[in-house]
Amino acid sequence: MDYYDTFGDDFSDAESRAAPTGFSFSHTIAGFTPERVLAAVGITPATRGPSYYVLVDQTVSIIASEVLTSAKILNGMLQTVYAKDMANIEEYARFPRYMRTMALALSRPEHVGMHWSRGGRPQADIIDTSLLGDLGDLQRIQRMVNPGGTLRGWIGVYNAWRLGENQKYEEVVNARLDIMESEGIAPFWQLIEDGNGPYAYPNNGPMRTLLTFRSTYLQEMRAAYARCISAVRMLTASAPAAFQGLAADFLTYNGRTYYGFAWVSKSGKNIFSISGQSGIDSAGRTFGRGFILDDIGQVLKEWRGWLPR
């Protein structure tokens, strides 16, 4: 459907975009599309009529928000895994600034987002290796900071530094990392993934950091799917008597997403009532919990108790 392609224009907070190039992650959860999420909670065109398509749009927004949350979580987890794997590689363990350079590169917002894959499935973007650089960048930077150097000469420089005989290795590596950090790249990711073979010294074998992270990605996307089902179930639940006829809506506040109903009180206040938090007291008065909003939908304060007038 068209909204998968144009979604970013309508929901910029979700940072919807084209799929990243290079190494990327994806899932094939069959039910993870807006229409199937709705079907999972019993909502179809037959059960809701014309309002179904409004619910589809709302479900698109919910899915995008939850998947973006997962993308941020996964990006942070990947940074932690990289630090752990790099600590098991001699060169990076002896020179831990490499880990900072990797973390700075992965912290760039360009690595985190979401996109809709073919078939309408949402995918979390957590790394774009094309933005991290490649072997060509490593060679370019090395020529800039150590022109005329050879691998044999570099081995001697490294061993002399390790033995405390001179600081040339440290100076050259710091100069390399200065350039990488200024460009926001970490091209040595490929040497971590596949091993550095004949390219560098000391040698390290393949860590397969990204390959082995796939299981973590799939686990988090299954969790995102479950959150979407729960959120849509709340969004489409039968409204309490006091909220019959009100539009189902959702609100994000302090990093948490709430689902419920938006309405305007008799005195003109913009009110958001959280789904599942309402009831009727012994005197027959409706009570609940939610937020009072300003004219642009920002939270002014929280309310609990009887419905605001």
pLDDT reading at 5 higher than 50: no
**Cα angle at 75 between 97 and 22, to 5 degrees?**
90
What percent of the chain has a predicted confidence (pLDDT) above 90? 51
Contact 137, 187 (CB under 8 A): yes
Residue 31's pLDDT is 92
pLDDT, tens only, 230-273: 888 877 765 555 555 555 677 888 877 787 777 787 778 888 88
Domain coordinates of the chain in residue numbers? 2-228, 238-306
pLDDT reading at 216 higher than 60: yes
pTM of the model: 0.75
pLDDT reading at 203 higher than 70: yes
Residues contacting residue 276 through CB under 8 Å, at least 6 positions apart: 234, 237, 260
Hey, what's the torsion of the CAs at 11, 14, 17, 20, to 10 degrees? 180
Q: Identify the CA nearest to 307 among candidates 256, 271, 262.
A: 271
Residue 14's pLDDT is 41
pLDDT, tens only, 62-121: 999 999 999 999 999 999 999 999 999 998 999 999 999 999 999 999 999 999 998 899
